[in-house]
Amino acid sequence: MQKYLLELEQKALLELKAAKGAAELDKIRIKYMGKKGLLSTCMRKIREVPPDQRPEVGKLTNIIKKKLTAYIKDARLTNARQPAASPRLDVTLPGREPLWGHAHPITLVIDEVCQILSKMGFMVVEGPNVELDYYNFEALNIPKDHPARDMQDTFYISKNIVLRTHTSPIQARIMETTAPPISIIAPGKVYRKDSDVSHTPMFHQIEGLLVDQDINFGDLKGTLTLFLHQMFGSDTTLRFRPSFFPFTEPSAEVDIQCVICNGKGCRTCSHTGWLEILGAGMVDPALYKFVNYDPDIYSGFAFGMGIERIAMLKYGINDIQLFFKNDMRFLKQF
């Protein structure tokens, strides 16, 4: 019996040492010392032991019980102090680099355009996004029945208030409050009811306006040529095409030779070899009567360009919607 008890003790201690967590310790406690546990059974069977050995066996059983109980108590305390799942801190690991923010590609292009034109003497100004019909249309020689006012293109806030459809109303606002000479550029958001791979309901434009004495079409050509050469490279070929805008006369559209195919013709340039990049012209004298400028003394030129279009050509992007999806995989590339 004594031999069996000592073997039981060794077995119990081995199991306790291997136990993980309080639940396993408790299982072992019940296995050996529960009501029907192995040690408790020994106590009950003590009557079967020869009478002279009974005190010895009883004593030994109690000692083993005490030993195991003490061991379990100890193990429980250590467990509580050292939760098994506690992560180890390795102070030698290199730190995690934070995500760096940076400017949006549209902001990058606006900044670049403004920087080039500022150096040429243009001052950066801004105007309201929510605009009076008067500045957006009327004062730009766009009469009430002009198709540009169509409800299908313009977001109307009320009968006389719109979300500006272009940055040109800033021309009218500046001339109204400032006497010539004027040379300004005005970047900003514009809004039109339009949405597909090349149109979004909100996009960006930059407007330019210069009014002084003796300004002619040559000044406009020189200014835009210098600007586009700085923007797209000095070997960029451009052409001025006759066009129409209600607020300029004569009007032109400026194309650059396709930057994708170098003028050979591809999908981006609709196989023409040319890309339309901006609208421009001499300020129509009809505008001067709204702002009390004397058309016999002053003349000027204006131009306007879409920022998304320039950004798409500069960075080779074929879907305008990408600029506004805030997909980190796209934005991280700039």
Q: Does 308 bind ligand DAH (CB under 6 A)?
A: no
Q: Does 299 bind ligand DAH (CB under 6 A)?
A: no
Q: Does 168 bind ligand DAH (CB under 6 A)?
A: yes
Residue 134, CA distances (Å) to 111, 164, 192, 235 in order: 29, 11, 17, 41
Could you give the CA distance from residue 274 to residue 262 in angstroms, rounded to a whole number? 9
**Closest to ligand DAH by CB, 57 or 307:** 307
**Whole-number minimum distance, CB 109 to ligand DAH, in Å?**
17
Q: Does 303 bind ligand DAH (CB under 6 A)?
A: yes
Q: Does 110 bind ligand DAH (CB under 6 A)?
A: no
Q: Does 180 bind ligand DAH (CB under 6 A)?
A: no
Which residues sit opposite 60 in a β-bridge?
none
Q: Does 284 bind ligand DAH (CB under 6 A)?
A: no
Q: Extract the tokens encoding 284.
A: 């129509």
Place of tokens 């009809």: 286
Q: Does 182 bind ligand DAH (CB under 6 A)?
A: no
**Closest to ligand DAH by CB, 72 or 281:** 281
**Whole-number minimum distance, CB 265 to ligand DAH, in Å?**
25
Q: Of 106, 102, 101, 104, nearest to 312 (Cα)?
A: 106
Phi/psi for 207 (5° steps) reads -100, 150
Q: Does 310 bind ligand DAH (CB under 6 A)?
A: no
Strands 298-306 and 274-283: antiparallel
Q: Does 187 bind ligand DAH (CB under 6 A)?
A: no
3-state secondary structure of 220: helix
C-beta atoms surrounding 23 within 10 Å: 8
Among the candidate windows 63-71, 112-120, 261-269, 297-305, which touches ligand DAH by CB under 6 A?
297-305
**Whole-number minimum distance, CB 252 to ligand DAH, in Å?**
8
Q: Does 207 bind ligand DAH (CB under 6 A)?
A: yes
Phi/psi for 252 (5° steps) reads -145, 155
Q: Does 248 bind ligand DAH (CB under 6 A)?
A: yes
Q: Does 257 bind ligand DAH (CB under 6 A)?
A: no
- Residue number of the CB closest to ligand DAH reads 304
**Closest to ligand DAH by CB, 32 or 245:** 245
Q: Does 105 bind ligand DAH (CB under 6 A)?
A: no
Among the candidate windows 13-21, 113-121, 301-309, 311-319, which touches ligand DAH by CB under 6 A?
301-309
Q: Does 280 bind ligand DAH (CB under 6 A)?
A: yes
Omega within 30 of 0 (cis) for the link into 55: no
Handedness of CA 162, 153, 304, 235 (dihedral sign): positive
Residues 6+ apart with CB under 8 A from 160: 132, 133, 134
**Closest to ligand DAH by CB, 55 or 121:** 121
**Whole-number minimum distance, CB 233 to ligand DAH, in Å?**
24
3-state secondary structure of 279: strand
Cβ-contact 90, 295 below 8 angstroms: no
Could you give the CA distance from residue 63 to residue 253 in angstroms, rounded to a whole number? 104
Which residues make up the interface to ligand DAH (CB under 6 A)? Answer: 166, 168, 207, 245, 248, 279-281, 302-304
